[in-house]
Structure 1
Amino acid sequence: MSFTQNFTAVGDNLALSAIVALIPILYFFWALAVKRMKGHVAGLSTLAVALVVAVVAYKMPAGMALMSASQGAVYGILPIGWIIITSVFLYKLTVKTGQFDIIRNSVLSITEDRRLQALLVAFSFGAFLEGAAGFGAPVAISAALLVGLGFNPLYAAGLCLIANTAPVAFGAIGIPIIALEGPTGIPAMEISKMVGRQLPFLSVFIPFYLIVIMAGFKRALEVLPAILVSGVSFALTQYLTSNFVGPELPDILSALVSLFALAVFLKFWKPKTIFKFAAEEELAATAAVNMRPKKQEQNTGAQVFKAWSPFLVLTAVISVWGIPAIKLALTGHYEGSNALLKAINSIGHALTFVPEVPFLNNKIFNVAGDPIAAVYKLEILGAAGTAILIAAFISKFIVGISWRDWIETFGETLSELKFPVLTIASVVGFAYVTNASGMSTTLGMTLAKTGAVFFPFFSPFLGWLGVFITGSDTSANLLFGNLQKITATSIGMDPVLAVAANSSGGVAGKMISPQSIAVACAAVGLAGKESELFRFTIKHSLFLVTLVGILTFLQNSVLSWMIP
């Protein structure tokens, strides 16, 4: 049995097909924003709706649709679910051993102002983790840190999702940009340059926007010098590295420069008033339930270093995991002569499994008649979650927790995250069904019909839609990158601009992606409250993608000199 994708499956009409293809997406919006279903209920029911549309409207064989869902569910568990499990586990180790009290005190010693803490942790530290690991790690870890500092869990999750907008396009050592070179044929360096002439505008704006959301416009102006140091240092480094180095390092270098610049600046400058939340005492009492009482004495430098060590180890291990040659070895694909990497490669090869998806692999054909491969990609050693688990293993000896408590904490983490992982598995399954049936491409082709005048504005919305559906800027780029190039060429738009806009627009879709919402809620203990977080982020997502649309429209016309 085989299946050929038909992007005009409903009445042989693109518009009708697009309306039907929208049904699962609109249902998901309704389930979370209106009905306020729990995440796993919304995810599973959306998957069911997508399966019905794929089978009934797009004539996809039911067995193939189900196997496609299983492929997505497996990917949702490994690597994505695995990252959230290990991230929360590492955080819980620091809480259980009392080390997080010292971490909190060390941040408070830099600043007690909640606005500045958000800049340090959500924006700068989160961007570093995005650059090193990607997937759910930055939001999971930075949101957990903010909750430990005393932030409202919903606010912490929402702020970290919004802060994560700036670095997403260059996440995971530049993979979203590098991946675009394959389907489009445009050199990754050219795409990197163009994205680096779009995102720095957002990177300057996001810190200010974060503080306005937190505290209002007037309170944001009170810390404007710190906001400018944070945003301008990040944006300038992002521009320079993306245009003169390549797509691999903009996030890591921008985050480190921003973090260091702000920390040094705060040694010499303090806001006139310290901003804290209205319910600060209640939040502190809630946070104290899961932590040991705060010691009164001042922590020494050695104590602070020890408390931060699990996250320093995490940073080091994840950074090593992201080095291209090591990444190849960890997944069993290294072909060089280095003896150590060859040894790692043999282990990585043994722990990498890519079985074919039954009844699906090479059974789906695109409109060009090419078969589409479908495998379960299980890269156990190469997964970022495994790097985080190794950091947790090393941290066991640093924080001095017994093996019994270490294992018990891991068991508690698994128990707490069973529903969030189910949510992630179901929404990624939904994404895979949408892609395999052709629904995603139908929607992309419809947006591409907006014409020479309007397409430059709507081009980023295509990336935004792709990231919402797939949860990944990389996946959205692979899904719509070539469509952007073909459409741009046909209407006289520079294809480099359209392809870059796909990635730049996609960053605003990350904060409303079902799997991102599930990861963020799981990290801060809000499992089942995904609808509240979705309602919090949706308006910001639409606002930011509109800004990227306006910028792309201007770069296609009056600012065309910005195109490399």
Structure 2
Amino acid sequence: MNWAQHYDPLGNALLSTLVAALPVVVLLTSIAFLRIRIHLAALMGLAVALGIAVFVYRMPVITAGATTLYGAAFGVFPIGWIILNIIFLYQLTVERGHFATLRDSLAKIAPDPRVQVILIAFSFGAFIEGMAGFGTPVAITGAILIQLGFKPLHASGLALIANTAPVAFGSLGIPITTMAQVTGLDAKEISMMVGRQLPFFSLIVPFWVVFAFAGWRGMRGVWPAALTAGAAFAIPQFLISNFHGPWLVDILSGGCSIGALVLLSCFWRPKADWAPPAESHAKGAESPAPAPDRSASPPGESGPLVPPRKQLLQAWLPWGILTAFILCWGLRDVKGALDHLGAPKVAVPYLHHVVQRMPPVAPPDAAPEAAEFKLNVFSATGTGILLAALVAGAV
């Protein structure tokens, strides 16, 4: 028995929209204002969504339950599989001491904390977003900033702000491809439309993240770095999303942004060492966050010592190997060959070809929605990350 989607169940477009938004409102309100733990807030949002689906939209209970299990399975694989393996690679670099060298090399490129925020939170964070996504870049870049002396709350907040520009494409374009699967639209067309809107925000975000950290006066001192990082990210973001697709947008754009900042650092530095005033500005929006504590640096040094070239190579090698594997796993021919090794599809009971999309969202002759769980272990991005981590650990 099919269930036909009804987009205005209450007979009022505004009221139906407000009711449909309730799960998201409950989730965000629970986290931001009620201070409820994230997993509990997510369960509350899920309960509200199920209630609205069953009692407002008249979705059969068994279909709503099947949808919930389908979404949970997708959260475990491929999303959870990606997060698990990127954290494995991260912990591997930490245990071998490579992560500290990576941190010091980034700090030496940008001794000024304002430029560090741009380089690490925005540029390097976008690079990690393209490979792992799903909150991983916030965790990794936040850890780097904390080790550089930033307070944990400020580090996490700055990392979250910086992660707004690349998050639409996520890990190998998964948000775009998932939307294509759900809507039946072409993934490349969605990529093109997203890629024509986001570059404007990508130009703004580096300025925004520095403003959040250092205030207006602090931002003015590093505007060349903010403009360079934003432009070096926004231009490739537009070109790749429009002429290639969503899969490699963040990886290549983030890499371009890092490279541009490295080149800029060869001939430009902020005019003077920056430090926030002893007292906050009167206006909260212009109050800079406390500067990182640099008391751990050797006397007379403005930042960490330059690590030996061999250590630098060892520190960056795992991420280079990861990039190579991710680029390889992103190729359609490689994915197709790996899928031939085994990629079983399981039709979700009580959901597969049960939901019928209706006009105007779908054409009148649209087929019922397919709901198949694809267990493509070999071609999954998380598997590529796991192999990259194993290779990086062996060399």
- TM, length-normalised to structure 2: 0.81
Shift of 1:72: 0.4
Query: 1:203 is aligned with what amino acid?
Result: S
Distance 1:65 1:175, change over 3 A: closer
Q: Distance in 2 between matches of 1:86 and 1:314?
A: 11
- Which residue number in structure 1 is paired with residue 72 of structure 2? 73
2:374 paired with 1:377: yes
Offset, 1:35: 0.9
Please state how far the C-alpha of 1:389 moved relative to its aligned partner: 1.7
Match of 1:457 in 2: none
Counterpart of 1:365 in structure 2 is 356
C-alpha deviation, 1:279, in angstroms: 6.8
Are 1:235 and 1:254, in contact at CA under 8 Å, matched by a contact in 2?
A: yes
- Give secondary structure in 2 for the equivalent of 1:355: strand
Relative contact order (alpha carbons < 8 A, sep ≥ 6): 1 or 2 greater?
1
- Spell out the pairing of 1:369-518 with structure 2 (5 A cutoff): 370-398=367-395
Q: 1:19 to 1:170 in 2, by over 3 A?
A: closer
Whether the aligned pair in 1 keeps the contact of 2:326 and 2:381 (CA below 8 Å) is: yes
Q: CA offset at residue 40 of structure 1?
A: 0.8
The CA deviation string for residues 130-165 of structure 1, in whole angstroms up to 9 with x for no partner, is 445555554444344434444334433333333233
Distance of 1:131 and 1:297 partners within structure 2? 30
Match of 1:531 in 2: none
Alignment length (residue pairs): 369
Alignment partner of 1:278 out of 255, 277, 290? 290
Q: What amino acid does structure 2 have at the position aligned with 1:202? A: F
* Aligned counterparts of 2:179 and 2:26: Cα–Cα separation in 1: 30
Residues 1:185 and 1:68: Cα distance change in structure 2 (over 3 Å): closer
**Match of 1:59, SS?**
coil
Aligned to 1:306: 314
Q: Deviations over 1:250-271 (max 9, x none)?
A: 5444322221121121122222
- Over the aligned positions, Cα root-mean-square deviation in angstroms equals 3.2
AA in 2 matched with 1:9: P
CA distance in 1, matches of 2:60, 2:180: 32
**Alpha-carbon distance between aligned partners in 2 of 1:38 and 1:252, rounded to the nearest angstrom:** 32
| Unaligned ranges ≥5, structure 1 | 286-295, 333-344, 399-564
Per-residue Cα deviation, 1:81-102 (whole angstroms, up to 9, x for no partner): 2222222222122222222222
Go from structure 1 to structure 2 and tell me whether the alpha carbon gap of 1:178 and 1:68 turns closer, same or farther (over 3 Å shift).
closer
- 1:214, 1:283 → 2: CA distance? 20
Look up the equivalent residue of 1:25 and give its one-letter code. Answer: V
Q: Could you say which residue in structure 1 is the equivalent of 2:346?
A: 355
**Which aligned pairs between 1:115-130 and structure 2 lie closer than 5 A?**
115-130=114-129
Determine if contact 1:9/1:17 at 8 Å carries over to the other structure: yes
Task: Spell out, residue by residue over 1:177-216, the C-alpha distance to the aligned partner (whole angstroms, 9 max, x if none).
Answer: 6788896878947x66655543322222111111001111
Q: How far does residue 390 in structure 1 lie from its aligned partner after superposition?
A: 1.6
User: AA paired with 2:320?
Assistant: L
| Deviation, structure 1 residue 129 | 3.4
CA 1:154 to 1:19, structure 2 compared with 1: closer, same or farther past 3 Å?
same
Determine the C-alpha separation between the residues in 2 that align with 1:317 and 1:275.
41
Q: Give the secondary-structure state (helix, strand or coil) at the position aligned to 2:373.
A: coil
The 3 A distance-change label for structure 1 pair 111 and 13 is: closer
Cα separation, partners in 2 of 1:305 and 1:247, compared to 1, 3 Å = same
| Correspondence for 1:45 | 44
Tell me the residue number matched to 2:3: 3
* CA separation of 1:123 and 1:281: change in aligned 2, threshold 3 A: closer
Residues in 1 aligned to 2:295 and 2:19: alpha-carbon distance in whole angstroms: 45
Tell whether the 8 Å contact from 1:310 to 1:395 is kept in structure 2 after alignment.
yes
Residue 322 of structure 1 corresponds to which residue in structure 2?
330
Instruction: For 2:234 and 2:211, locate their aligned partners in 1 and report how far apart those are by CA, in whole Å.
Output: 19
User: Partner of 2:105 in structure 1?
Assistant: 106
Distance 1:358 1:248, change over 3 A: closer
Letter in 2 for 1:41: L
Alignment-mate amino acid for residue 262 of structure 2: A
Cα distance in 2 for partners of 1:264, 1:121 equals 15
Change in CA separation of 1:148 and 1:309 when aligned onto 2, cut-off 3 Å: farther
Q: What SS is found at the alignment partner of 1:371?
A: coil
Counterpart AA for 1:329: A
Contact between 2:6 and 2:57, CA under 8 Å: does it hold in 1?
yes
Structure 1 CA distance for aligned equivalents of residues 386 and 14 of structure 2: 47
**1:38-187 mapped onto 2 (5 Å cutoff):** 38-132=37-131, 134-172=133-171
Q: TM-score, normalised by structure 1?
A: 0.58
Contact map agreement 1:133 1:319 (CA 8 A) in 2: no
In structure 2, the gaps of 5 or more residues are 277-288, 298-303, 359-363
Structure 1 residues 76 and 238, CA gap change in structure 2 (3 angstroms): closer
Give the whole-Å Cα distance in 1 for the aligned partners of 2:159 and 2:394.
Answer: 30
